[in-house]
Structure formats: C-alpha cells, structure tokens
A and B are shown apart, each in its own frame.
Chain A
Amino acid sequence: MADTEKDIDLLEALFEEARRDQPTLPDDLSARILADAEDVQARQAAALAVPPAQNPAATFAASAIGMWCQFRAAVGGWPAMGGMAAACAVGLWIGLAPPSFLPDPAEFTQLSVDTTALPYDSYDLAVMLGEETE
C-alpha cells in the first residue's frame, strides 16, 4: 500500500475512534446550563406577567384606541362615520368650486381682493382706523 493511502487510512481510523469517543457533558456545566434556563424562564414569565398599565407605550396606545372607540360610539358607529365623511367631502367640494347659482363664499367673509373694499388706495390700516375713530 502506498504511503499516502496508509496516511489516509490512519486518518480515517482516527476519525472513527473520535466519533465513537464523543465527550460527555460535564455535570457542573450541565447544572450551570439548567440554572441559566431557569433564570431565562423566570424572566420570560415575568415579562409576560407585566400588566399593560405598567408599560407606558402600551398604556398610551390603549388610551388612544379607547378614545377613538368612544368617539365612534358617540356619533353612532361606522354608518354615521361614513355619512359624516361624505358630508365633509361635499362641503369641501362646494367650498373650493361653488356652483354658479351660489354666491362666492369669499364675499361673505369680506376677504375678496377688491379695490373698493379699501377706503383709499394709498391708505394703510392705521389711517383707516384713525378716521373711523374720529
């Protein structure tokens, strides 16, 4: 048998013995591992047992959800919420693009840019207010 083959055979024999001779877990190491396991279980159980009130993030989220539920119930549930949303949308539409038979809402608020709305072209607000108080 060639030397290389003999060396490979030797290696295979050593592998086989090593596979048969697997190390066992030392008792003290096993005890330490189990003690760790117990600690971890206790911590995990404690984390699960924390009531939501002791968790600020959970408390905030719960209160926000609670307020929303209360509001929804107060206005009459989801159908009423849908009606409100539709009414808001129509109001916004009319406000932005009023039909021709309605007056411009800006005129009601006296905010339209109209030179006649100003007392005098060149007068500022202070002068205008001064004249009114005289």
Chain B
Amino acid sequence: MEGLPKVSASPDDEVLLELFAQGDQRAAALLTERLGPRAFGVAMRVLGNRAEAEDVTQEAMMRLWGIAPDWRRGEAKISTWLYRVVMNLCIDLKRRQRGGYLDLDAVPDPPDPAQSAPEAMQDGARHDALQAALMQLPERQRQAVILRHLEELANPEIAGIMDISVEAVESLTARGKRALAALLAGRREELGYHDG
C-alpha cells in the first residue's frame, strides 16, 4: 500500500470513507473495527438471532463500501446512516419471514430459570431475560428502545434513523419501556437483584 495517504491516529469516519474510496485498505479495516460492532450489536438486539445479525451487518457494511465514492461530506453522520441501513435491513428481513417461512433460529430462547442460580451464569440470564422481553415488543418499539437505551442515541438522531418525528420516538420509547417493565415484573430476585 505504498504511496497511499497516511491514516492519522483517529481520523473521523468521513475521512476514513474518503480514504477508502481512494483505495486505502487500512481505512476499510479501521471503519470495520469502529462501525462493525455497533451495526452487529444493534442487529443482534433487534433480530435476536446471531446468523441473521451477521448477514445484516455484512450487507450494511457492503452498502457503506458501495456508497463511499458518492458520499457527500457533512450531509449526515456515517454512523447514523449505517444504523438506518441496519434497521431497514432488519425490517425487510422480518417482512420476508412473515411473508414466507419462519426461521426457527430467529425465535429467541426463553430465559432458563436454572441459569439464574449460580452466580457465574447470572449475567447470561439477565441478558437472556432482557433480550426475550425485547423480542416481545412490537418491532418499531423495539428499535426505538434499543437505539435510545442501549445505543444511547439522542431522540433527534433516532427520529432521523427511523424516519419519524421526535415526538413519535418519545412515544415509542415510553411505551416500550413500560411494556418491558411489565414483562420483567417480579423477576428481580430471580435475576439476582436484591433490595437494600
């Protein structure tokens, strides 16, 4: 890769994407390292299925590579754009599944009460409990809750990703949170949280 522009210590995503479009493979590696886990994490939460989340992440990153030469600097944050692509791919996948077959792997495993007993398994049980509850939310509520409470994005950014108003985001997250609290009600002790 001699002769290619040098990548500075922590260039922003747009600089990296420009370098990628100029043929710099290190830029691809840095962008994958930076954006890949976020795309994969949010796809995992929304879909509740590892294989599907991997496919969605790969496709979303593929679209990022494809758009690199045409990316107009300053118009949008790359991470916001990527979240949006991931969410749309998740919706498309779910629509296809509803229209055709249902992938049994896509159904989240119910939380296993036996896992909550040993302390070593507590984290896994909590994770499973939250994921199982998330999967019971309507799709848009689930997306909004994940983006707000797990990805910690601001409401205007979520509104941009989901193509809805900020008020709609607030409504979706509030209803989602109430529904999750109801779904997890009474499991405090079981999940290892004690009063006091």
Q: Which residues of the other chain, B, contact A25 by a CB distance below 8 angstroms?
A: 32-33, 36-37, 40, 57
Q: Name the one of A14, A24, A41 contacting B37, with C-beta atoms under 8 angstroms.
A: A24
The CA of A8 and the CA of B195, in the complex, are separated in Å by 14
The CA of A4 and the CA of B169, in the complex, are separated in Å by 22
Tell whether B152 is near chain A: CB-to-CB under 8 Å: yes
Tell whether A54 is near chain B: CB-to-CB under 8 Å: no
Q: Which residues of the other chain, B, contact A129 by a CB distance below 8 angstroms?
A: none
Q: Which residues of the other chain, B, contact A32 by a CB distance below 8 angstroms?
A: 58
Of B61-69, B81-89, B113-121, B135-143, the one contacting chain A is B61-69
Tell whether B164 is near chain A: CB-to-CB under 8 Å: no
Task: Write out, one digit per residue, whether chain B residues 166-196 have a CB within 8 A of any chain A CB (1) or not (0).
Answer: 0000000000010011101111100101010
Q: Name the one of A4, A33, A45 contacting B61, with C-beta atoms under 8 angstroms.
A: A33
The CA of A41 and the CA of B17, in the complex, are separated in Å by 12
| Contact, CB under 8 Å: B32 / A30 | yes
Which residues of B (16-65) have their CB < 8 Å from a CB of A? 20-21, 23, 25, 28-29, 32-33, 36-37, 40-41, 44-45, 54, 57-58, 61-62, 65
The CA of A123 and the CA of B130, in the complex, are separated in Å by 104
Tell whether A69 is near chain B: CB-to-CB under 8 Å: no
Of A15-23, A58-66, A78-86, A107-115, the one contacting chain B is A15-23
| Contact, CB under 8 Å: B123 / A17 | yes
Task: Write out, one digit per residue, whether chain B residues 143-165 have a CB within 8 A of any chain A CB (1) or not (0).
Answer: 00000011010000000000000
Chain B binding surface, main DSSP class: helix
Q: Which residues of the other chain, A, contact B126 by a CB distance below 8 angstroms?
A: 14, 17
Tell whether B127 is near chain A: CB-to-CB under 8 Å: yes
Tell whether B129 is near chain A: CB-to-CB under 8 Å: yes
**Nearest-Cβ distance from residue A52 to partner chain B, whole angstroms:** 18
Q: Name the one of B21, B29, B32, B130 contacting A14, with C-beta atoms under 8 angstroms.
A: B130
Size bin of chain A's contact surface: 20 to 34
| A26 to chain B: closest residue by CB | B54
| Contact, CB under 8 Å: B181 / A8 | yes
Q: Which residues of the other chain, A, contact B36 by a CB distance below 8 angstroms?
A: 25, 29-30, 33
| Contact, CB under 8 Å: B23 / A45 | yes
Chain A residues in the interface with B (C-beta under 8 A): 1, 3-4, 6-11, 13-15, 17-19, 21-26, 29-30, 32-34, 36-38, 40-41, 44-45
Chain B residues in the interface with A (C-beta under 8 A): 20-21, 23, 25, 28-29, 32-33, 36-37, 40-41, 44-45, 54, 57-58, 61-62, 65-66, 68-69, 123, 126-127, 129-130, 149-150, 152, 177, 180-182, 184-188, 191, 193, 195
Additional 11 contacts, C-beta under 8 A, given A3-B185, A32-B58, A36-B62: A4-B181, A7-B188, A10-B191, A18-B127, A18-B150, A19-B150, A21-B123, A22-B41, A25-B32, A25-B57, A40-B66
